[in-house]
Amino acid sequence: MPHSPAEKKRVLGRVNRVRGQLDALQAALEQGAECGPVLQQIAALRGAVNGLMAGVLESHLREEFSQLTDASQAQRASIDEVVSLVRTYLK
């Protein structure tokens, strides 16, 4: 869970955008929208949720590994590499 006020605000903003996308998807389904646009909305929603997950995971990794008092520059670079890898995987 993001702990700083800025991180928390960013994550809650993403959650609100996901909620908006989900509401739009529900409305499209209720109105009988065509399959193509519905599938596009689902793909966008999946991307938004993956982005949310990546953000929370990045925050968690940085929080956990920043507690290492003697974290070297190489270890910080490794954390950045893992975060980048996770973000790439979730796209």
CATH number at residue 82: 1.20.58.1000
Return phi, psi of residue 26, to 5°: -60, -45
- Predicted confidence (pLDDT) per residue in 56-79, tens digit: 888 888 777 777 656 677 777 888
Tokens matching residue 74: 């190489």
Number of structural domains the chain divides into? 1
Q: Which domain holds residue 46?
A: 5-90
Nearest-10 crossing angle of helices 5-30, 35-66:
160
- Predicted confidence (pLDDT) per residue in 14-49, tens digit: 999 999 999 999 999 999 999 999 999 999 999 999
Contact 65, 90 (CB under 8 A): no
Q: Write the DSSP assignment of 29-76 as a string of letters.
A: HHTT--HHHHHHHHHHHHHHHHHHHHHHHHHHHHHHHHT-TT--HHHH
The span from the CA of 91 to the CA of 83, in Å, is 13
The span from the CA of 2 to the CA of 53, in Å, is 11
